[in-house]
Amino acid sequence: MEINLEIIRHVLGWCAVMNFAILMLWFLVYTIAPGLIYNTHGKWLNISNERITEIHYSGMLFFKLSIFLFNIAPYLALRIVG
């Protein structure tokens, strides 16, 4: 099977879609059930709710930036070139 730019574009596009779906699921669970997250992580890690919030939002930001850097930017570059 020959790998060409069109296949790579499709793969990057679907990776971006799936990663954004994971990010939205993470955000929805965090906004709908913060008590569950605070209780679970607070027991495991023995940290405050404010720190848990900071860690989750930092993680979401890092994940979103990674999606842009590793999925969307190469996808757009291949769209421009191809």
Question: How many domains is the chain partitioned into structurally?
Answer: 1
pTM: 0.88
Residue 75: how many other CB atoms lie within 10 Å: 19
Residue 4's φ and ψ, nearest 5 degrees, are -125, 180
* Average pLDDT over all residues of the chain: 93
Is the pLDDT at 68 greater than 80? The verdict is: yes
Residue span of the structural domain in which 77 resides:
5-81
User: What are the angstrom distances between the C-alpha of 76 and each of 9, 12, 68, 82?
Assistant: 9, 9, 10, 10
Task: Compute the distance between CA of residue 22 and CA of residue 55 in angstroms, rounded to an integer.
Answer: 17
